Structure 1
Amino acid sequence: MGTTVSSGSPQRHLVLFNYEAWGHMRPMCNFAARIVKMQPTILITHFVTPTFYDRVQTELRRNFEDQESSLLERIRIIALPCDNTNPLDSSVLQKAFANAYEKLVNLQPVSCVKTEVEIKTTCSPDLVVVDFFGSAPIDAVRKASKKQVKVLFWFAGSATSLFCVGGPESQGGKGNLRTRSQEVAKRTCISIEEAAAQITLTGKGSLVRLPGLPPMYDYEIQPQRLIAPLALLGGVSLRTSDTMEACDGIVLATPECYEIEAIAALRDWLAGSSRPIYACGPLIPSGAQAVAFEKLQSSDAAKVESFLHAKLTSHGEHSVLYISFGTIFFPLEPEKLAAFLEIAVEKKVPFILNHTSPYIPLPDFVTDKLSSYSDCMATGYFVSHAGHNSVIEAITEGVPLICWPFLLDHATNAARISDRLQIGYELFQVRTGPGLQPAYRLGKAPEGTLEAFVVEAQQVLSKALGDDGQRRRANAQRLKQQIMQVWGENGQSQKAVEGFLALIGNDDTRQGFFSSLTTCS
C-alpha cells in the first residue's frame, strides 16, 4: 500500500505535462524550479512517465541548495501510466492525464504509479502547460475545468522549426497543416498523417525563407533518411500544429538572443489571436548542486573529468572534441563517424564520444566510450546533431559546434549556427536520403560518399583548429555574454517568466530571483 502526502494550502496551482521524451522534460524541470524560486507560494504538479521519474527528481535537485528544500517541496512529481511496449503510442498516457487532471479539479488525490503515493491537494489548477503535441490534453483540461484555465504550449525545440509545421506561408511556414493535409489526403487517397509528413518533411524543391535563416530548399529540413515511419512523424507534426492552434500561448525553452528573428515572427503570428509568447531559456541549473547531481547521473563522471584535466595539461585549452548525438540519434553511416575519429586522431585531437541512442547500436570500431560532459576549459568543439537542448548547453558555455543534423530543428539550428551566427560549422556530406538533393547554400547536391565526407571533415577540422575557428569561437563567446544577461534583473528571460506568472496571479510574497550562469571558461 502507498502512503499519503498532503501539499498544504498553496495560493496558486500550476500543472505541467510532458510526453515520454527527456529532451522535453529536462528543461521543464528547470522551468519549474525557476517558477518556485520567483514565486515561492506557488504549487506545481508535474506529470511525467515512470521511465523518467527518477531522472526528473535528480534534475530538479540540481537547481536547489540544501537551504532551499522548502522550495523543492513545492514541486510534486507524479508518474502516470503509459504504454511501455510502445512509447510512441501516447493514447494511454493521454487518458491517464485526463483522469488525473479531473481529480485535481475535484480536489481528489492522484496516485503516482512509480511510488504508489497518493498526492493530495487543496486547490484546483489555475494554469496548465502541456507538451508541444498535446492537443488531446488541452481538450481534457477545457472539458474538466470548472473555471477559466489557460493552457500554454511547451516547446523545448528551436522556435524557428515551428514554422516547419505551421505559421504563415509568407514567413516560410506551412499554413494550416490540418486543412492542407486533409486536402492532400483526399486527393491522393493516403492517410492524413502521411499527407502531413509529405507537407512537412519531404518537400518538392521549393525555396523557403525561414525567419533569420539563409534560404534553403524545403526538403533540406529533412537532411537524412527517416528512422521512423512517415505516418508516425506526420502524426506528430499534425498534433503539434493542432496544439499550436488550440493553445492560449507558447512557452519556449530558448533564449531570445539566439533566435531573435524567429521569435519576433512568432509574436507577429500569434498577435492576431492575442496570444503571448514567453522565451524563457536557457533553462539550465547552476550552482554547487547542479554540478554534484550531474556527476551522479553518470558512472563515467570521474573518468571524464580526469580525461579532460589531463588533456587540458597536455594539449591546452579548447583542445578536446566532445561528440554526442543526443538520446535518440546516431549516424546512420557509422563508417563516416569512424573516418571522422580517424582524422581527429591523425590531427592529434583528443575526443570524447557519447552514445546513448537505444535505436542504433554502438559501432564495433568504438572500443571505449565516455558518456558524460563537463563544461571544462579543455572542451574545444561540440560535434552534435544540433538538437536544441545540446545547442543551448553549448552556446551557454560559449562552445562552438560542428553540426551533423538529422531533421527539423537540427537542420534549422545547423543553418543558424554555421551561417547566421557563425559560431560553428555544418557537415553537408553526412546527408543521406532526401538530403542528397541539391543544397541551396552549396549550389549543388552533396555527393554523400565516404570519400567526399573525408575531404569535408578534413577541411572543417582544419578550419576549426585554425584562424577561422578562433573567429567563430569569439562569436560564440560574445553570444555567451548575451545569454549570461537574460536571467539578470530586467533580463529577457527573467521578464518573460514574470509575464508568465502574471497569467497565474501574483501575491505579496513573490520575490525576485536573479541568478548568474556559472561557467568554467
Structure 2
Amino acid sequence: MIHVMAEKESPTPHVVVLPFPAHGHINPMLTLSKLFSHFGLETTFAISHRFHTRLNKLTHLNKLTRLPSFHFATITDGAPSDLPKAPFQAFPLFITPTARAAVATELRDLLAGLSPPATCVVADGLMSTIALDVTAEFGIPVIAFRTYSATCTWATVFLKKMVEEGVIPVQIQEDMEKEITSIPGLENLLRGQDLPVICRLDPDHPVLNFYITETSAMCKASSIIFNTFHNLESPIISKFSTIFPKVYSLGPLHSLFKPHITTSNNNDTTCITWLNSHHPNTVLYVSFGTVVCLSRDQVMEFWHGLVNSGKPFLWVLRDDSIQSGDGVVDSVLRHGVPAERGLLVDWAPQEEVLAHPAVGGFLSHSGWNSTLESISEGVPLICWPLIADQTVNSRCVSEMWRVGIDMKGSCDRVIVENMVRDLMENKREDILRSTAEMANMANESVKKGGSSYRDLEKLIEDIRSMSLNN
C-alpha cells in the first residue's frame, strides 16, 4: 500500500531539449534525447521546422517516434526562409534580435501547453539567454549542454577578458603566432591562430558579442553537460566545477547510445562494400562535415594531394559543399581516378566507416562530433579546421592528445600529399600509441560503471529529483 502511494507521488520527469539550429549541435542533443527516452524520461525535442524537414530527409525519424516517451515539437528558428547555400553564412541570421524573439515566443507557447509540464529544459549553450528568460516565467531549471569540447568551451568563457586585454582581435600574422596566456590551464597550448575563429572579429562585431553574451548566460544554468569523457579533458572539466554545482561528462555520446541501436538509419552500403575490398588500415576517410563549403581551388588542391599520395581514399563530397556550380569539379573528381583507388559519395554512415578495419586515417574539418567519433574508434586524424571551435580542436588533437596532425592554414596539394603519406605510410608510433590508448579509455568510459555512464546515471537521477521538487 505504501509502495502504491509512492508510485503516485513520483511523476515521470519531462525533459524539453532545445538545440541550436545547426546539424553539429542537433545531432549530439538528439542522441542525448534518445538516451533520456530509453531511461524512462518523457522527452520533447524542440527542433526548428527547417531542421526537422532536413533531418527527415537524412534519417528515418519515424523510428524515433516509436521510442518510448519521445516527441518532436517544431518551433521557428526565427530566420527567413531563403537562407544562403553555405550553412555558416546563415549563422548570423539565427542570432538577430528578431529571430531570437520569435524563438522565445514559440518556446514560451510550447512550455505553456505541455502536459505533463516540463521538469527542466536542456538547452544548447548558444540558446542560454532564450532558455533562461523563458523558463524563469515557469520556474523551470535549465541545464546547459555545450556541444563544443570542454577545452574550447573553457576558452569561450574568457572571450570578454581577451577583448579587454587586447588579445582579440587576432588579425595580423604576429598575433597568429603569439601564445595566449589569458586562459587559465591553457597557457602553454593555444596560440592566436588556435583560438575560436570568432576571435578574429572586431570587438563590436555582433557574432563575437553573441558568443560573449550566451556564454555569460550559460554560466547561470543549474548545471552543464559535455559530450566528452573524463580521461580526455579531465583538467579542464574540473575547472567548470568552479562555475557549476554539477558537471556531467557524457561522451562519447554516440558510443554511450550504441547498445540501444537496433537498426541502421540508412540502407546505402555502397561505401561499406567498397571498404570491404581493401586491406586493414589502408584507406583514408575524408569528410569536412555539413557546414564547410569549399571553393573550386580548395577542392582541386585536396583532390590532387589525395591522388598523388597513392593511398586509397573515401571522400564524402556533396554538391552543396562546393561553391562552384559549373559542374567542372564534379566531372574531374568522379572520373579522374581508378575505382579501386578512390570513391566519392554524397553521404556515408560515418560511425560505421570509422569503425571499419580498412580505415587507417581521417582527414577532417575537426568538428567536435567528428573528432570524438574518430578518437573513440582509434583512427588518427589529419585536421584542416576552418570555422567555430575547429581550430581549438585541431590544436588539441596534435599537441594535447597526440592523436593526429594539424594542417591548420594550409590548402596546398604538396602539403596534403605529404601529410597523408606521413600518417598512412610512415605509421608514426607516437600517434598510433596515443590513438589506441584514447580509444580504449573512451570505450571504457561508456561501459556500465565507466565515468560517462556514471555521469549519465547521476544526470537522470538529478532530473528525477527535480520532478519531485516541482
Residue 123 of structure 1 and its aligned partner are, at CA, apart by 2.2
**Which residue, 223, 241, 246 being the options, matches 1:249?**
223
Q: Deviations over 1:108-163 (max 9, x none)?
A: 3xxxxxxxxxxxx4322111111112233234334421x4x221221111111123
Query: Aligned partners of 1:100 and 1:56: how far apart in 2?
Result: 20
Q: For the structure 1 residues 340 and 85, does the alpha-carbon distance in structure 2 shift closer, same or farther, using more than 3 Å as the test?
A: closer
**Which residue, 306, 319, 323 being the options, matches 2:282?**
319
Query: Aligned partners of 1:81 and 1:222: how far apart in 2?
Result: 28
Contact 2:294 2:321 in 1 (8 A): no
Q: Structure 1: where are the runs of 5+ without partners? A: 1-8, 109-120, 167-172, 185-197, 432-449, 509-521
Corresponding residue for residue 405 of structure 1: 385
Query: Aligned partners of 2:389 and 2:409: how far apart in 1?
Result: 18
Say whether residues 1:361 and 2:320 are aligned partners: no
Contact 1:29 1:59 in 2 (8 A): no
Query: Aligned partners of 1:340 and 1:54: how far apart in 2?
Result: 32
* Equivalence map 1:145-224=2 (5 Å): 145=138, 147=139, 149-166=140-157, 173-175=158-160, 199=168, 202=171, 204=175, 206-209=178-181, 211=185, 214-221=188-195
Residue 245 of structure 1 and its aligned partner are, at CA, apart by 3.2
Query: Aligned partners of 2:290 and 2:447: how far apart in 1?
Result: 31
Contact 1:138 1:246 in 2 (8 A): no
Q: For the structure 1 residues 484 and 75, does the alpha-carbon distance in structure 2 shift closer, same or farther, using more than 3 Å as the test?
A: same
Q: Secondary structure at the match of 2:422?
A: helix
Query: Aligned partners of 1:138 and 1:467: how far apart in 2?
Result: 50
Contact 2:282 2:359 in 1 (8 A): yes
Corresponding residue for residue 6 of structure 2: none
Say whether residues 1:238 and 2:212 are aligned partners: yes
Query: Aligned partners of 1:63 and 1:476: how far apart in 2?
Result: 36
Q: For the structure 1 residues 357 and 476, does the alpha-carbon distance in structure 2 shift closer, same or farther, using more than 3 Å as the test?
A: farther
Contact 2:222 2:246 in 1 (8 A): yes
Say whether residues 1:484 and 2:447 are aligned partners: no
Q: For the structure 1 residues 103 and 408, does the alpha-carbon distance in structure 2 shift closer, same or farther, using more than 3 Å as the test?
A: closer
Corresponding residue for residue 273 of structure 2: 306
Query: Aligned partners of 2:436 and 2:130: how far apart in 1?
Result: 40
Contact 1:16 1:128 in 2 (8 A): yes
Query: Aligned partners of 1:134 and 1:223: how far apart in 2?
Result: 20
Q: For the structure 1 residues 289 and 123, does the alpha-carbon distance in structure 2 shift closer, same or farther, using more than 3 Å as the test?
A: closer
Query: Aligned partners of 2:259 and 2:214: how far apart in 1?
Result: 34
Q: Deviations over 1:423-448 (max 9, x none)?
A: 111114517xxxxxxxxxxxxxxxxx
**Which residue, 216, 226, 246 being the options, matches 1:276?**
246
Q: Deviations over 1:211-237 (max 9, x none)?
A: 368433334325799899983431432
Query: Aligned partners of 2:289 and 2:357: how far apart in 1?
Result: 22
**Which residue, 74, 78, 84 being the options, matches 1:79?**
74
Contact 1:222 1:408 in 2 (8 A): yes
Residue 503 of structure 1 and its aligned partner are, at CA, apart by 2.8
Between 89-98 and 134-143, report the one with greater CA deviation. 89-98
* Equivalence map 1:317-356=2 (5 Å): 317-331=280-294, 334-356=296-318
Q: For the structure 1 residues 476 and 419, does the alpha-carbon distance in structure 2 shift closer, same or farther, using more than 3 Å as the test?
A: same
2:285 maps to amino acid:
Y
Between 154-163 and 95-104, report the one with greater CA deviation. 95-104
Contact 2:196 2:389 in 1 (8 A): no
**TM-score, normalised on structure 2?**
0.78
Q: For the structure 1 residues 376 and 131, does the alpha-carbon distance in structure 2 shift closer, same or farther, using more than 3 Å as the test?
A: same
Residue 175 of structure 1 and its aligned partner are, at CA, apart by 5.0
* Equivalence map 1:404-423=2 (5 Å): 404-423=384-403
Corresponding residue for residue 98 of structure 1: 104
Q: Deviations over 1:244-284 (max 9, x none)?
A: 233222111222222222212222x31xxx53211111111
Q: For the structure 1 residues 19 and 85, does the alpha-carbon distance in structure 2 shift closer, same or farther, using more than 3 Å as the test?
A: farther
The count of corresponding residues between Structure 1 and Structure 2 is 422
Residue 356 of structure 1 and its aligned partner are, at CA, apart by 4.4
Q: Secondary structure at the match of 1:398?
A: coil
**TM-score, normalised on structure 1?**
0.71
Q: For the structure 1 residues 320 and 237, does the alpha-carbon distance in structure 2 shift closer, same or farther, using more than 3 Å as the test?
A: same
Contact 1:12 1:126 in 2 (8 A): yes
Q: Secondary structure at the match of 1:128?
A: strand
Q: Secondary structure at the match of 1:258?
A: helix
Contact 1:161 1:412 in 2 (8 A): yes
Q: Secondary structure at the match of 2:218?
A: helix
Q: Deviations over 1:87-109 (max 9, x none)?
A: 53335654454344444554x3x
Q: For the structure 1 residues 345 and 85, does the alpha-carbon distance in structure 2 shift closer, same or farther, using more than 3 Å as the test?
A: closer
1:14 maps to amino acid:
V
Q: Secondary structure at the match of 1:48?
A: strand
2:50 maps to amino acid:
T
Contact 1:17 1:47 in 2 (8 A): yes
Query: Aligned partners of 2:42 and 2:417: how far apart in 1?
Result: 53
1:480 maps to amino acid:
A
Corresponding residue for residue 37 of structure 1: 38
Q: Deviations over 1:265-319 (max 9, x none)?
A: 222x31xxx53211111111425856621x25xxxx3321222112x1xxx1111
Query: Aligned partners of 2:443 and 2:54: how far apart in 1?
Result: 26
Between 214-223 and 410-419, report the one with greater CA deviation. 214-223
Equivalent pairs: percent with the same residue?
Answer: 19
Q: Secondary structure at the match of 1:25?
A: helix
Corresponding residue for residue 193 of structure 1: none
- Considering fraction of residues, name the structure with more helix: 2
Corresponding residue for residue 121 of structure 2: 128
Query: Aligned partners of 2:141 and 2:58: how far apart in 1?
Result: 27
**Which residue, 247, 264, 276 being the options, matches 1:292?**
264
Corresponding residue for residue 3 of structure 2: none
